[in-house]
């Protein structure tokens, strides 16, 4: 069973929140399942909020519409839900979104992109898909572990031993992305897998949330959440956001927190005949109230994004984009 809460704030200095997020969960015949996604529109480009909201919308729709069928077929075939199959599907979705967002930008003569960090938990395991510099943390037994690798010039310097992790938090290179959805000739998302245990607390957050806190700042507050509930998780998250802003953070701030808790007495999972039934998930929450998701209108509609067109970009290596 999960307790989930999320919060997003435009911040003290910006007029538009380019972050978007969702937190969805359901009780099914294969156990409790949950999806959390945080996308951070690339701030140096135009209309980052459209790119981030579009990606969140597509993954929310996939969870509600397509994942039940994938899970049922996988269980019938293998006896368990294949998270590697989920990763394959996510890779295809992100490749398609990369092309679509890029094509939209070419048609409208704007440049837009977004990071993506999503986590699916099912049957005591997780899969994380990752593009950019949002993060997933696990807080458990008073310790914190970063489960994603930042795709930035600063993170590369840390890996090469020319910069410490603390220096990377405050380096200008930390804002230079090596990948984002909508800007790449060829997108290469990273996927990772692991086990989930009762008492684990997972935090999916944008760089504006963790940059001034660091790992210890995130850990110190979430590790003190004793009576785990959605209200307690939301209070902790909003406290950290306010602390960030008081410390001078100028960017948008978003975090989604998911805690794995013991099932409530009387909780009943759906029987096998409903394995492919639609979920009743929590609502998808875009970055700002009033943010318009890019839908599926006509090619001439400046507020919509159609299906894939010609490949976007020009041949070459990875292209850094400033977040």
Query: Would you state the pLDDT for residue 45?
Result: 62
Residue 213 has pLDDT above 80, yes or no: yes
pLDDT in tens, 52-104: 999 999 999 999 999 999 999 999 999 999 999 999 999 999 999 999 999 99
Query: Would you state the pLDDT for residue 314?
Result: 24
Q: Are the C-beta atoms of 194 and 126 separated by less than 8 Å?
A: yes
Residue 121 has pLDDT above 90, yes or no: yes
Q: What is the spatial distance between Cα 203 and Cα 181, in angstroms, rounded to a whole number?
A: 21
Place of tokens 């041949």: 315
User: Looking at residue 111, what DSSP letter applies?
Assistant: -
**Which CA distances in Å does 145 have to 4, 171, 228?**
19, 22, 19
pLDDT interval class at 261 (50, 70, 90): very high
Query: Would you state the pLDDT for residue 126?
Result: 98
Number of Cβ within a 10 Å radius of residue 271: 8
Higher pLDDT, 226 or 217: 217
> Would you say the C-alpha torsion 93, 49, 121, 276 has a positive or negative sign?
negative
* One-character DSSP codes across 128-184: EEEESS-EEEEEETTEEEE-S---BHHHHHHHHTSS-HHHHHHSGGGGEES--BTT-
Q: Are the C-beta atoms of 151 and 131 separated by less than 8 Å?
A: yes
Residue 307 has pLDDT above 70, yes or no: no
State pTM to two decimals.
Answer: 0.81
**Mean pLDDT along residues 220-232:** 92
**Mean pLDDT along residues 299-314:** 26
Q: Rounded to 5 degrees, what are φ and ψ at 146?
A: -85, 120
Query: Would you state the pLDDT for residue 319?
Result: 28
Query: Mean pLDDT lowest for which of 111-115, 173-177, 289-293, 297-301?
Result: 297-301
**Among candidates 129, 1, 149, 135, which has minimal Cα distance to 62?**
129
**Mean pLDDT along residues 40-49:** 80
Query: Would you state the pLDDT for residue 272?
Result: 32
Query: Would you state the pLDDT for residue 294?
Result: 34
Q: What is the spatial distance between Cα 112 and Cα 13, in angstroms, rounded to a whole number?
A: 21
Contacts of 273 (CB under 8 A, 6+ apart): none
Query: Would you state the pLDDT for residue 93?
Result: 98
What six digits make up the tokens of 38? 């945080």
Query: Would you state the pLDDT for residue 3?
Result: 95
Query: Would you state the pLDDT for residue 29?
Result: 83
Query: Would you state the pLDDT for residue 54?
Result: 96
Residue 190 has pLDDT above 90, yes or no: yes
Residue 113 has pLDDT above 60, yes or no: yes
Pairing state between β 135-140 and 125-131? unpaired
Residue 163 has pLDDT above 90, yes or no: no
DSSP-derived 3-state class of residue 130: strand
**Among candidates 302, 319, 279, 316, which has minimal Cα distance to 35?**
279
**Beta strands of the chain (E only): which ranges?**
2-9, 19-28, 31-40, 116-122, 125-131, 135-140, 143-146, 176-177, 190-195, 201-205, 253-260, 284-285, 321-322
What six digits make up the tokens of 259? 């805690």
Contacts of 195 (CB under 8 A, 6+ apart): 124, 125, 126
Residue 313 has pLDDT above 70, yes or no: no
Residue 299 has pLDDT above 70, yes or no: no
Q: What is the spatial distance between Cα 236 and Cα 175, in angstroms, rounded to a whole number?
A: 26
- Chain-wide mean pLDDT for the chain? 81
Q: Are the C-beta atoms of 24 and 282 separated by less than 8 Å?
A: yes
Q: Are the C-beta atoms of 128 and 191 separated by less than 8 Å?
A: yes
**Mean pLDDT along residues 181-207:** 96
**Among candidates 238, 253, 237, 157, which has minimal Cα distance to 202?**
237
DSSP-derived 3-state class of residue 67: helix
DSSP-derived 3-state class of residue 180: coil
Query: Mean pLDDT lowest for which of 8-22, 220-234, 243-257, 275-289?
Result: 275-289
Q: Are the C-beta atoms of 107 and 154 separated by less than 8 Å?
A: no
Query: Would you state the pLDDT for residue 165?
Result: 80
């Amino acid at each position: 069973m999960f307790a989930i809460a999320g919060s997003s704030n435009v911040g003290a200095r910006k007029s538009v929140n380019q972050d978007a997020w969702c937190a969805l969960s359901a009780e099914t015949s294969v156990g409790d399942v949950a999806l959390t996604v945080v996308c951070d529109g690339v701030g140096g480009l135009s209309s980052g909020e459209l790119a981030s909201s579009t990606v969140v919308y597509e993954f929310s729709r996939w969870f509600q519409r397509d994942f039940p069928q994938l899970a049922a077929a996988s269980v019938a075939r293998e006896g368990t839900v294949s998270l590697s199959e989920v990763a394959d599907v996510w890779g295809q979705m992100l490749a398609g979104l990369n092309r679509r967002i890029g094509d939209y930008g070419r048609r409208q003569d704007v440049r837009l992109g977004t990071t993506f960090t999503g986590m699916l938990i099912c049957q005591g395991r997780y899969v994380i898909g990752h593009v950019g510099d949002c993060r997933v943390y696990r807080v458990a037994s008073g310790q914190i572990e970063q489960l994603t690798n930042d795709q930035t010039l600063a993170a590369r310097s840390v890996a090469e031993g020319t910069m410490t992790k603390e220096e990377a938090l405050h380096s200008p290179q930390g804002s230079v992305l090596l990948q984002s959805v909508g800007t790449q000739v060829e997108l290469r998302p990273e996927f990772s897998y692991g086990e989930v245990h009762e008492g684990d607390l997972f935090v999916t957050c944008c760089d504006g949330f963790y940059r001034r806190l660091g790992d210890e700042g995130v850990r110190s507050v979430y590790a003190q959440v004793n009576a785990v509930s959605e209200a307690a998780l939301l209070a902790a998250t909003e406290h950290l956001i306010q602390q960030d802003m008081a410390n001078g953070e100028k960017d948008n701030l978003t975090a989604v927190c998911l805690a794995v808790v013991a099932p409530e007495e009387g909780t009943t999972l759906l029987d096998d005949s409903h394995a492919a039934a639609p979920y009743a998930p929590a609502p998808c929450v875009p970055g700002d109230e009033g943010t318009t998701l890019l839908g599926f209108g006509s090619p001439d509609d400046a507020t919509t994004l159609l299906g894939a067109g010609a490949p976007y970009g020009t041949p070459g290596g990875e292209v850094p984009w400033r977040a």
